[in-house]
Amino acid sequence: MSAVAAPSARRITWLRRRRALGSGWREYRRNTPGMVGLVLLVLIVLMAIAAPLLADPAGLHAVNTVNNPAWANPAKFHPLGTDHLGRSVMTQVIWGARISLLVGLAATVLAMLIGSVVGITAGFFGGWTESILMRLTEWFLVIPFLPLAIVLAAILGPSIQNIILVIGITSWPFPARLIRAQVLTMKERLYVDRSRALGASEWHLMTRHILPNVSGLIIANTTLTVPVAILSETTLSFLGLGDPSRASWGKMLQESFEAGALTQQAWWYYVPPGVGILLVVLAFTLCGQALEEVLDPRLRDRRE
């Protein structure tokens, strides 16, 4: 960069953001549980992405597995045995990761989108807009989550879009309340007043000043909502409300239960998907808590 030319405002902002990101990452790296979670998460996501290389999807359909033994234990059929239809458990675990992650992520994005819009609008505009939106949020918080999800899924019918929709529209109230609280403290800051005095529009204030300042909270909260969404998917699938044509880890648990794996003592059928859920939920939770601590230094002595 030449010494005379003053860097543009855009460039200053960009440099500042990169520096903030760098220092955030240094802070995150020092958080051991957060790093464990991140490594775990990367491994699981890689497995889900590489599913076509790891296992032939034809093995998911019972038509193609008639020659395999049913209920074969891992010693007889590598690496994780077969189910009641002779399908390899390993193949199902690998492909199931895709559906579980997809539903968890998509539902969370939907929930955070609704939650952010409601939270920011309510916090920023105040008045009757806020009263109505927060009353709605309170109502949704009171309705028990699982029964509501069950009723919605039962009425809409089982499909992957519907399960994403159901988890999304039952998970937004909590982030909405959190984001509103943050916006309320943000809009009292001096730089907002200054910007308003300089003639900034409401839209400019909302997108340029409020949104960037709550984005950290939104990201940390997203990371902590994904595991909840994945657990919800598991329970809904177990109750028979998942997509019947696609294997998720929750669906595997349902099929193993219905096929009588418990009495067959076929532990290799229902232990692996459960371990998968356990690990992915743990990974997201560890990452989310680490992110929270990076963004909010007051939380750092929480685990000390």
Partner 1 sequence: MSARYVSGKVLGSLATLLFVIAFNFFLFRVVEGDPVANLFRGRNLSQSQRAALTKQFGLDGSTGEQFVRYVQQTAQFNLGRTYTNNQPVASEIWDKAGPTIALVGVSTLLSTIFGVMLGIAAAWRRRTKTDYAVTSFTMTTYAMPDFWLGMLLLTAFAVELGWFPVGGIVDPNSDATGLAKVADQAKHMFLPALTLTLAYLGEYALVMRSSLLETMREDYLVLARAKGLRDALVRKRHAVPNALLPVITLISINFGFVLSGAIAVEAIFSWPGLGLATYDALQGPDLPMLQGLFLVFSAAVIAANLFADLLYGYLDPRVRTS
Compare residues 79 and 260 and give the one whose CB is closer to partner 1. 260
CB of 181 to partner 1, least distance (A): 17
CB of 267 to partner 1, least distance (A): 6
DSSP for 72-117, written as a single string: --TTTSTTT-B-TTS-BHHHHHHHHHHHHHHHHHHHHHHHHHHHHH
Length of the chain: 304
Helix (H, G, I), strand (E, B) or coil at 174: helix
Location of structure tokens 């995150």: 28
Residue 107's alpha-carbon distances to 49, 114, 278, in angstroms, are: 19, 11, 19
Residue 211's alpha-carbon distances to 17, 95, 192, 196, 203, in angstroms, are: 15, 37, 12, 15, 10
CB of 36 to partner 1, least distance (A): 11
Compare residues 117 and 154 and give the one whose CB is closer to partner 1. 154
Compare residues 142 and 197 and give the one whose CB is closer to partner 1. 142
Who contacts 294 (Cβ-Cβ below 8 Å, separation ≥6)?
24, 27, 28, 31
Compare residues 33 and 216 and give the one whose CB is closer to partner 1. 33
Site for partner 1, rule CB under 8 A: 138-139, 142-144, 146-148, 150-152, 154-156, 227, 231, 234-235, 238-241, 250, 253, 257, 262-263, 265, 267, 270-271, 274, 277-279, 281-282, 285-286, 302-304
CB of 253 to partner 1, least distance (A): 6
Q: How many other C-beta atoms can be found within 10 angstroms of the C-beta atom of residue 66?
A: 9
CB of 221 to partner 1, least distance (A): 17
Compare residues 47 and 200 and give the one whose CB is closer to partner 1. 47
